Structure 1
Amino acid sequence: MMEQTATSGNLSRKVISIAAGEAHTLALSGDGKLYSWGRGTFGRLGTGSEADQPFPVLVKFFGSDADREEKLRIVGIAAGAYHSLALAGSVFVLNLDPFLDGQIGGTGENSLVPCLLEGFLGLGPPGSATKDYEMQNGKPLKISSVKAGGMMSMAIDSLGSLWMWGNFPHPLQSQSVEGQIALVSSASPVPIWNFHGHTVVKVACGNEHVVALVSAGETYEANDLICYSWGGNNHGQLGLGDNESRLSPEVIEAFNLGSPWSVYEISCGAYHTALLALSKGSSDILESVCFTFGLGDNGQLGHGTTQSLLSPELVHGLPQNTFLTSVDCGLFHTCVVSSAGDVWSWGMEKGLGLCPDARFTGTDSGDASSPLLIPCSGMYSPRFQEPLQVACGAAHTVLVADSGYKIWSWGRGRSGVLGNGKMVDCYAPTISLWPTLVEDFKEQDSNNARPNENYREKNPEHNVEMEKRLSAAMEEMAVLRSKLSVMERYASMLHGSIFGKPFQEQEIPPSIQSSGAFDIAKEWDNMLESSDQGKLLRLEMFYKDMLASVKDKLLKRRIQDIVKECLKSTAARSTG
């Protein structure tokens, strides 16, 4: 890949963070702009409507106020099941979709556009901590990061305190009945005081449970993080050795202060948890490992079985001497990425996250109970060039690679959640439409106009014409992508009915890929020659079934014709 320079133009094309919800995806660009795509119901995309978006669109926070929009810089993003969070550089959080349980704060009603969460305007813990912080740093306390999952939202402030809102397990207000925890609903941020005097460094949550990395002392130092968990635990997702729910945070003993492992990344699925850790006794930073625990019904723990685990266990299917840079959990699948560009996934339907109604058929079907390598189909195959982060939704996975300048996605593609302009499932990584068409037009226009800047300033109609061209091109692209999506769905259904598995891009005949010409007789012979016994038998069965259906239809039509002829003859005799 060509070396990128840190210009504003390049920053707008570079993704620095991604997040995935149930069926939507968020991307944060280097210039502080937020893009969203996928399912739009409940306003989770922040576009002003509930329409689905099949490719990335810019989220506007101040509508037509161009000046405020240009000055705004988003520094953090998060996605829950049906809501989104965006963090700006001041003491407020911008929210998309105030959903029924108030997980993004505010009124508790749906919002189709970003709204300010005013619960943080008076931010500050009790006592003198806030005043001390402001005196020492000369600035007010701010939110430093946001996180979301299920129906809840979380934030960590610059003092290291944790805040939660939505539908979440509150240590003081939640109740437990017969092992089940009753979650608390709050439309406003609530501080979690259990870690007062310590620094919450990272936090993750599933549908009902929370996992946090917290400093042993007041401030964070290397290798002194302790892992806590609390909330629902009916599948062992807290990693505490049993399936009893916890109202208050408890230390996961495998990762206490005396643990040989130093946890540096955490992620929660609906009912399972994954962590990345380094050995404290090793001087080699490449020796990182992955631990999982919780629900294992679909192989999402990666231990070769579908059993649930009450305590953390190492995932042994990953290569040794590899540094794992990112981990994320979907609804029923898990994915990790190495610094070398290898991507492994495990769990529901070959680790792709695909839900039961989108399963493979035949011998290729089934969940992956051990890590599977997800190959890149590009020139660096099977590795992805310079990967940054992976994010898992309910049934899809998104990967940022090429130092942030390229997005790959795979899994369930309905509602356009893969960002490739299509609505079909992808069983192998596919390139998302990034950068957006708008950015490409801007760059082209900028390159063409550089020698003529004075002309542009004196002729504002140039900008109007550019907007018209851009609008027309985007409309044409939308029509073409809609037609392409319909054609792909038809081809996929036809291919699936014949061969028993979805159509994949690499199965396109070479003659079409190279020249566009297609010798159907030659390609048919080539396909038969390369088919194994099972594929040939399936073709024979499909041919016999089709032939029988055609003969049956012909017979029915012949009978209908005979009946019609008889009726005409009878009618003629009666009138005669």
Structure 2
Amino acid sequence: MEDTRTYVDSSSLSRKVVSIAAGEAHTLALAGDGSVYSWGRGTFGRLGTGSEVDRLFPAKVEFNFNGRNEKMKIVGMSAGSYHSLALSDDGSVWSWGHNNYGQLGVNGENSLVPSLVEGFHGINPTDGSITKSETQLKISSVKAGGNMSLAIDDLGSLWIWGNCPPQDTSNEGEEFSLLTTYNPMPVWHFHGQTVVKVACGNEHILALVSSGETHKGSDLVCYSWGNNNHGQLGLGDTDIRAVPEMIEIFNTESPWAAYELACGAFHSAILACKKEDDDSVKSVCWTFGLGDNGQLGQGTTKKALHPEMVRSLRVNEWLVSVDCGLFHTSVVSSVGDVWSWGMENGLGLCTEVSKGGDALTPRVISCNGQNGSKFSDPIQVACGAAHTVLLADNGYKLWSWGRGRSGVLGNGQVNDFFDPNLVLWPPLHQDFEKNEPETISVKSSDKTYAEKSSKDVTEIEKNLDIIENYASVLHGSVFGKHFDNAKDIPVSLTSSGSFDIGKVWDDMLESCDYDTLVRLEMFYHNMLEGVKDKIMKRKIKE
């Protein structure tokens, strides 16, 4: 008799991260199954978890549509300073967190949970007015920065709300001031063009826009507008721009084609490529704006009014991602090299005790793993105010470093880390869950055992990977460095197969330097306080 049973593996997509975002002190991760996770500082409800409590580990964000807690697939998300945005696969936009400037798209209080953003209606082609209709335009991407929010609809129009630059020229020449807008408004200047990508800082915006009505793939030009007190618009001066203006080095006639944008508080970074005569492609990073802490990577602390190439970066590698924090910048290449520059050795930290000063040129951020200093299969880098997160291993590992207050690094600690440490991913509630078998069509009953055995081996390997991940997170929390299988497994275990924990503990304490002992004491203290807190809460409940 033919066995036609099918099995579905529901865990692979939920364990894979497809994109990340970092706010002032919170981090977001989007999983392949459409789920959003957040961790870090909970003030103003920026985590979307229903409270203002800090989260030291990734926590799932629940989306409630019209009072029904339906499964919603999120396909995009972004983090501002104190608020967050998410984009659903149906084209709807959701927001949560701080709302003093209308950055949530509603005229109301802060929101501790995701709420639907409305107001994306059609634009009248004759006079540019908004045409009210029962159905809203579908949004294709969202971007948050500072206290403002932006969205691009399916027609290629750009929308903006929150603490925004004014959209008229009447106040040019006057002192710059942002306008509070609670409802999404279209950016009129790009009517008849297609906006492809945007980035925004505290008070300025960059956009990649098609030169014609439709995007043809190689016709993008770069615009900037907003405050320009440090030259962060890259237009050669410090004059404000109320309307978008093209950055000439990235116009249609330029050999350089911009493909990625990033904005810090008062500086900007652009990734651009140039096709050479031998058909090779050169990928470089350009920076401009405030340079006080070396965040431009140009070897000085001077501001740059025009885009300048970061020449000390290797040009024979494709740069896949760039992001800017308040005062630092990070870039990652396709082969796993990560560079950072700016405040406090490129970490963005504002520490009382210096750990090496500001990095005026790119410094390599080392993985110290099996691949040496390189990170395997990197995808994206995201910079918060003073922390950095890297998505690597084709989406299955997250690394973080920098300021650790409020648990923003996602490793269970609130300490600063000067080297990359693993984020506790996948989240605790997913670990060692009994997953349904992978999708298999079994046509013969005598194959059942073989299929089951193969499945068991796969599950064992998957669980061993999870155990290794947790061991590395715990090791990093205590010792401040990544777990190295070759060096950090106790000799008593590798040589005899038995583990004398008492002897290993004594040997470890004996070999620890002073800084490690202090870190160990802090880790033990935090763990003990957590246990005491749980005991007290249970006593109160009883």
Q: How far apart are 1:55 and its partner, in Å?
A: 0.7
The amino acid across from 1:21 in the alignment is G
**1:59-113 Cα deviation digits (max 9, x unpaired):** 0012997x7432x111110100000001112242111125100111112311111
Q: How far apart are 1:438 and its partner, in Å?
A: 1.3
Task: Kindly report which structure 2 residues correspond to 1:63-142, keeping only aligned pairs within 5 A, or say none.
Answer: 68-70=69-71, 72-120=72-120, 123-127=121-125, 141-142=137-138
Mapped to 2, the partners of 1:168 and 1:521 lie a distance apart of 55
Q: Indicate conservation of the 8 Å contact 2:275/2:282, yes or no.
A: no
**Counterpart for residue 238 of structure 1:** 233
**Counterpart for residue 222 of structure 2:** 227
**Counterpart for residue 413 of structure 1:** 404
Task: Kindly report which structure 2 residues correspond to 1:24-43, keeping only aligned pairs within 5 A, or say none.
Answer: 24-43=26-45
For residue 58 of structure 1, the aligned residue among 57, 60, 66 is: 60
Q: How far apart are 1:176 and its partner, in Å?
A: 4.2
Residue 191 in structure 1 maps to residue 186 in structure 2: yes
Q: Indicate conservation of the 8 Å contact 1:511/1:518, yes or no.
A: no
Whose radius of gyration is greater, 1 or 2?
A: 1
Q: How far apart are 1:511 and its partner, in Å?
A: 8.3
**Counterpart for residue 271 of structure 1:** 266
**Counterpart for residue 382 of structure 1:** 373
Higher RCO (C-alpha under 8 Å, 6+ residues apart) = 2
Mapped to 2, the partners of 1:173 and 1:85 lie a distance apart of 29
Q: Indicate conservation of the 8 Å contact 1:276/1:290, yes or no.
A: yes
Residue 302 in structure 1 maps to residue 297 in structure 2: yes
For residue 360 of structure 1, the aligned residue among 338, 343, 354 is: 354
Q: Indicate conservation of the 8 Å contact 1:98/1:108, yes or no.
A: no
Change (3 A) 1:111 1:283: farther
**Counterpart for residue 540 of structure 2:** none
Q: How far apart are 1:520 and its partner, in Å?
A: 7.8
**1:204-228 Cα deviation digits (max 9, x unpaired):** 0100000101100011112211111
Task: Kindly report which structure 2 residues correspond to 1:375-454, keeping only aligned pairs within 5 A, or say none.
Answer: 375-442=366-433, 444=434, 446=436
Q: Indicate conservation of the 8 Å contact 2:9/2:435, yes or no.
A: no
Residue 311 in structure 1 maps to residue 306 in structure 2: yes
Q: Indicate conservation of the 8 Å contact 2:262/2:269, yes or no.
A: yes
Q: Indicate conservation of the 8 Å contact 1:350/1:366, yes or no.
A: yes
> Which one has a larger percent helix, Structure 1 or Structure 2?
1
The amino acid across from 1:127 in the alignment is P
Q: How far apart are 1:28 and its partner, in Å?
A: 0.6
Query: Which ranges in structure 2 are unaligned for 5 or more consecutive residues?
Result: 1-7, 129-134, 441-469, 493-503, 516-542
Mapped to 2, the partners of 1:88 and 1:129 lie a distance apart of 30
The amino acid across from 1:104 in the alignment is L
Q: Indicate conservation of the 8 Å contact 1:174/1:181, yes or no.
A: no
Mapped to 2, the partners of 1:10 and 1:174 lie a distance apart of 54
Q: Indicate conservation of the 8 Å contact 1:174/1:183, yes or no.
A: no
Change (3 A) 1:13 1:283: farther
**Counterpart for residue 171 of structure 2:** 175
Q: How far apart are 1:517 and its partner, in Å?
A: 3.7
For residue 159 of structure 2, the aligned residue among 149, 163, 188 is: 163
The amino acid across from 1:259 in the alignment is S
Q: Indicate conservation of the 8 Å contact 1:346/1:372, yes or no.
A: yes
**Counterpart for residue 345 of structure 1:** 340
Query: Which ranges in structure 1 are unaligned for 5 or more consecutive residues?
Result: 1-5, 131-138, 451-479, 493-502, 529-534, 536-576
Mapped to 2, the partners of 1:406 and 1:511 lie a distance apart of 20
Q: Indicate conservation of the 8 Å contact 2:275/2:281, yes or no.
A: no
Q: Indicate conservation of the 8 Å contact 1:174/1:184, yes or no.
A: no
Change (3 A) 1:221 1:185: same
Mapped to 2, the partners of 1:93 and 1:519 lie a distance apart of 55
Mapped to 1, the partners of 2:509 and 2:12 lie a distance apart of 48
SS at 2:49 equivalent: coil
Of 24-33 and 166-175, more deviation after overlay is shown by 166-175
Q: Indicate conservation of the 8 Å contact 1:101/1:108, yes or no.
A: no
The amino acid across from 2:239 in the alignment is E
Change (3 A) 1:368 1:282: farther
Change (3 A) 1:445 1:159: closer
Mapped to 1, the partners of 2:127 and 2:138 lie a distance apart of 13
Mapped to 2, the partners of 1:268 and 1:242 lie a distance apart of 18
**Counterpart for residue 134 of structure 1:** none
Number of aligned pairs? Answer: 460
Mapped to 1, the partners of 2:85 and 2:78 lie a distance apart of 5
Q: Indicate conservation of the 8 Å contact 1:427/1:504, yes or no.
A: no
Q: Indicate conservation of the 8 Å contact 2:401/2:419, yes or no.
A: yes
**Counterpart for residue 9 of structure 1:** 11
